[in-house]
Amino acid sequence: MKVALMNIKDSEMEVVFSVTKVALFPYVDAVFGWDDNFQRARLANDYDLNWYFWIYQGRERVGLVCYKHVTTRLHLHLLIIFPEFQGRGIGAQVMDLLKQEAIDASRQMMTLSSFIANSEAIRFYTDLGYVIEESDKDFYHLTLAIEDA
């Protein structure tokens, strides 16, 4: 069954925060220390509501994605597939949708960063063809060149 992206409503931002916390807490806490107030403020001030989408498969909400277009690239901030839906190819379908959007918008690449400690995510993205371009102490920065189909 195909996936679809649905806009997030302003009234759902607390749910977005909760979903994000569940997915990222272990990584953020290990690197920076988790502080609810700081993370809520960061979500409100650093991320545009229009970058967030619920991921649906049929009528079922199965995850969350946050991305934006930046000049020549599409940048993925966050991809969360709820645990009970992982391993079903949903994440790959979402990444295919985003790649097609990048192609349609004449973007030259897709970029993202992931915690080095999140080995499952790194494996997922590299299996999709993303290349680790650089890293620092805590993050890998990955890119995928967009080739017009």
pLDDT over 60 (residue 149): no
- Average per-residue pLDDT for the chain: 94
Q: Give the CB-side neighbour count of residue 75, counting CA atoms within 13 A.
A: 11
Domains and CATH numbers, the chain: 3-145 (3.40.630.30)
pLDDT category of residue 147 using cuts at 50, 70 and 90: confident
Start-to-end CA span in the chain (Å): 23
pLDDT over 60 (residue 35): yes
Q: Would you state the pLDDT for residue 62? A: 98
Alpha helix (H) residue ranges in 74-136: 90-104, 119-127
Using one digit for the tens of pLDDT, what is the confidence trace for 14-27? 999 999 999 999 99
* DSSP state for residue 103 in the 8-state scheme: H
pLDDT over 60 (residue 130): yes
Using one digit for the tens of pLDDT, what is the confidence trace for 77-128? 999 999 999 999 999 999 999 999 999 999 999 999 999 999 999 999 999 9
Contacts with 76 (C-beta within 8 Å, 6 or more apart), sequence order:
65, 66, 67, 98, 110, 111, 112
Claim: this prediction has a pTM higher than 0.85: yes
